[in-house]
């Protein structure tokens, strides 16, 4: 297993990525050397030209979610996305070759490169999905459980079908009377844990119990540990495969004694410097768009161009957040309300700028002022915060860092406007705070670009 930003990924994912890059490079190189006279180009020049094409292809595959495999992922879906990625790669490479004609490989070579890309990538990916469907390369685990935690754990694994794990069986207490139709073998009696682990050739046991006090099979689990098996609590396991903290399951002591949540000065300083630089650059690049948006907002409806609203920031301090106005002037005459799907308060221009996330451009001023970072939990309104902190455990912990324009929750959870959505987003926010780093921020920013390009999660 590979651990990246606290999340575990199966080794086969790295093999998929590196293997695809290798075969693409070899196929394009083969086309290149058979069409172009290498005497006219040095090896370094050839390497740079081919690497450029391979990099564009791999980025295109990534941006079309071709390195993400969910439960039920099919060959048809993969083929559709693959052709979309190919089309995007062709357009980008064509534009790139137009700007830099010196990189153009030559007449007929570009088309043959694309054909090679289709053939090799399709074969490689069909093989990968076949392995995935056969659970080849997945690590077998045994679940020791009780209550609804078993189904929660099973749902997480099925929702992350490429997480690299497969449940071989579940062991419940002798007193368990619940009828379980969960698609895996269930045994009663904690005295069977070690025997079943050996029988199924399992070296990792996951403990998923709703109530551990007085029920946890301490001696049996200790015996497994002493025999060299890995014993992991269900909350940690869910964190590692899903990138979130299961707040319904964890308790304060879990948060206190687990590693993470470090907020050293260097990291905070680096986050603010990088965020401010990106915000300044973003404001400069988006200036023409901002001027145009300001004009059309003013022409369409009565009211100011900018919408200002009080939000809760770092350590619970309030600040004024600035956005382009996307709703009618009287949108909140009856008080604060959650945004909702097909909200009739949103103007025609507002609907467009929300879809494209243009309404959030002015928030870059908040980053420059120091009220926000570029990456962090989304700031909420004081009215909602007061209500949510009473209904959701650990809600105030999201205020221990500066809020952000984008964040881990925004790229992993679709837009939500309910208490349940706020709870689910908090699970991702707490994971971000636990693993906060500059590299994770850069990854989130890249994922945000992808989200904007495919217009995911806006409302």
Query: What percentage of the chain exceeds 70 in pLDDT?
Result: 91
Same domain, 347 and 327: yes
Q: How confident is the model at residue 334 (pLDDT cuts 50, 70, 90)?
A: low
- The SS3 assignment for 335 reads coil
* Distance between CA atoms of residues 93 and 57, nearest Å: 9
Evaluate whether 268 touches 192 at the Cβ level (below 8 Å).
no
Asked if the structure places residue 247 within a domain, the reply is no
Confidence band of 347 (pLDDT split at 50, 70, 90): confident
Confidence of residue 118 (pLDDT cuts 50, 70, 90): confident
Confidence of residue 138 (pLDDT cuts 50, 70, 90): confident
CB count in 10 Å sphere of residue 417 = 13
Q: Give the count of domains, the chain.
A: 3
Whether residue 286 sits in one domain with residue 385: yes
Residues near 282 by Cβ (< 8 Å), separated by ≥ 6?
Answer: 361, 364
Same domain, 46 and 184: no
In this structure, are 237 and 297 located in the same domain? no
pLDDT of residue 396: 93
Lateral strand order in the sheet of 204-209: 186-188, 165-172, 139-146, 204-209, 230-233
Are 151 and 287 in a shared domain?
no
Instruction: Assess if residue 85 is contained within a domain.
Output: yes
Query: Domain ends where: 106, 133, 160?
Result: 133
| CA quadruple 217, 218, 224, 229: dihedral sign | positive
Q: Which of 118, 133, 148 is the last residue of a domain?
A: 133
Last residue of a domain, one of 114, 133, 152: 133
Confidence class for position 294, pLDDT limits 50, 70, 90: very high
pLDDT at 126 exceeding the cut of 90:
no
366 strand-pairing partners: none
Residue 115, H or E segment: helix 109-133
Per the CB < 8 A criterion, the answer to whether 307 and 324 are in contact is yes
Are both 368 and 402 inside the same structural domain? Answer: yes
Torsion angle, CA of 345/348/349/350, rounded to 10 degrees? 30
Mean pLDDT of the chain: 85
Does a structural domain hold residue 248? no
- Give a yes or no: residue 256 inside a domain: no
Pairing type for strands 2-4 and 7-9 reads antiparallel
Say yes or no to pLDDT of 96 above 70: yes
Contact in structure between 167 and 157 (CB atoms under 8 Å): yes
- Determine the structural domain holding residue 216 and report its residue range: 139-242
88: pLDDT confidence band, cut at 50, 70 and 90?
A: confident
- Is the pLDDT at 220 greater than 80, yes or no? yes
d(CA 372, CA 377): 10
**Residues whose CB falls within 8 Å of the CB of residue 147, separated by 6 or more in sequence, listed in order:** 209, 210, 211
Could you give the 3-state DSSP secondary structure of residue 405? strand
Question: Is 328 in the same domain as 354?
Answer: yes
pLDDT score for 379: 94
Q: What is the pLDDT averaged over residues 397-417? A: 90
pLDDT at 320: 96
Better-scored residue on pLDDT, 405 or 162: 405
Residues 193 and 300 in one domain: no
Same domain for 55 and 18: yes
**Domain with 211 in it: what CATH number?**
3.40.50.720
**Mean pLDDT, range 303-313, rounded to an integer:** 92
How confident is the model over 324-344, as a mean pLDDT? 69
pLDDT of residue 337: 62
Q: Is 445 inside a domain boundary?
A: yes
Q: Are residues 277 and 405 in the same domain?
A: yes
Lowest mean pLDDT among 1-10, 28-37, 217-226, 370-379: 28-37
- Given a cut of 60, is residue 177 above it in pLDDT? yes
Long-range pairs for 292-298 at CB < 8 Å and ≥24 separation?
A: 293/324, 293/349, 293/353, 293/358, 293/361, 294/324, 296/349, 297/324, 297/325, 297/347, 297/349, 297/350
Averaged pLDDT for residues 208-219: 86
Distance CA 410, CA 378 (A): 8
- Whether residues 420 and 293 fall in one domain: yes
Is there a domain that residue 249 lies in?
no
In a domain? residue 159: yes
- Residue 417: pLDDT band (50, 70, 90) is confident
Give residue 454's pLDDT.
64
Specify the pTM. 0.86
- pLDDT value of residue 340: 60
pLDDT at 456 over 70: no
- Tell me how far apart the alpha carbons of residues 151 and 143 are, in angstroms, rounded to a whole number: 11
Q: How confident is the model at residue 90 (pLDDT cuts 50, 70, 90)?
A: confident
Identify the pLDDT of residue 194.
93
Residues 447 and 367 placed together within one structural domain of the fold = yes
Least confident of 49-58, 193-202, 335-344, 381-390: 335-344
Residue appearing with tokens 């926000």: 372
Is residue 428 a part of any domain in this protein?
A: yes
pLDDT in tens, 40-80: 556 777 788 788 888 888 888 888 878 876 655 567 777 78
pLDDT for residue 376: 95
Task: Provide the pLDDT for residue 48.
Answer: 80
């Amino acid at each position: 297993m590979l651990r990246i930003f606290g999340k575990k990924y199966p080794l086969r994912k790295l093999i998929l990525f590196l293997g695809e890059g290798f075969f693409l490079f070899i196929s394009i190189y083969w086309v290149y050397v058979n069409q172009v006279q290498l005497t006219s180009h040095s090896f370094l020049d050839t390497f740079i030209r081919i690497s450029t094409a391979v990099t564009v292809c791999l980025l295109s595959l990534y941006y079309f979610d071709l390195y993400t495999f969910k439960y039920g992922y099919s060959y048809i879906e993969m083929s559709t996305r693959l052709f979309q990625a190919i089309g995007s790669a062709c357009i980008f490479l064509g534009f790139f070759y137009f700007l830099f004609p010196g990189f153009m490989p030559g007449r007929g070579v570009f088309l043959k490169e694309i054909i090679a890309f289709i053939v090799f990538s399709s074969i490689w990916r069909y093989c990968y999905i076949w392995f995935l469907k056969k659970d080849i390369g997945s690590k077998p685990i045994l679940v020791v459980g009780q209550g609804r935690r078993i189904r929660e754990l099973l749902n997480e694994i099925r929702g992350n079908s490429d997480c690299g794990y497969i449940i071989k069986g579940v062991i419940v207490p002798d007193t368990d009377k619940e009828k379980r139709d969960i698609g895996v073998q269930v045994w009663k009696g904690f005295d069977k844990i070690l025997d079943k682990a050996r029988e199924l050739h399992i070296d990792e046991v996951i403990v998923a119990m709703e109530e551990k006090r007085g029920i946890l099979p301490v001696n049996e689990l200790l015996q497994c540990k002493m025999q060299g098996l890995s014993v992991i609590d269900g909350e940690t396991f869910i964190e590692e495969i899903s990138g979130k903290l299961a707040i319904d399951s964890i308790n304060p002591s879990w948060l206190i004694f687990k590693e993470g949540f470090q907020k050293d000065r260097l990291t905070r300083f680096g986050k603010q410097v990088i965020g401010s630089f990106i915000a300044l650059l973003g404001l400069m690049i988006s200036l023409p768009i901002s001027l145009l948006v300001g004009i059309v907002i003013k022409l369409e409806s009565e009211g100011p161009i900018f919408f200002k609203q009080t939000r809760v920031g770092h350590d619970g301090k309030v600040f004024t957040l600035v956005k382009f106005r996307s709703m009618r002037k009287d949108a909140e005459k009856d008080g604060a309300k959650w945004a909702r799907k097909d909200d009739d308060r949103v103007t025609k221009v507002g609907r467009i700028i929300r879809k494209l996330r243009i309404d959030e451009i002015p928030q870059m001023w908040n980053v420059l002022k120091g009220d926000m970072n570029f990456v962090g939990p989304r700031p909420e309104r004081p009215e909602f915060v007061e209500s949510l902190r009473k209904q959701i455990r650990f809600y105030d912990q999201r205020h221990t860092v500066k809020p952000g324009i984008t964040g881990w929750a925004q790229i992993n959870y679709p837009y939500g406007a309910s208490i349940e959505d706020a709870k689910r987003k908090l699970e991702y926010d707490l994971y971000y705070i636990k693993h906060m780093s500059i590299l994770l921020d850069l990854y989130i920013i890249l994922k945000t670009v992808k989200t904007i390009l495919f217009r995911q999660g806006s409302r």
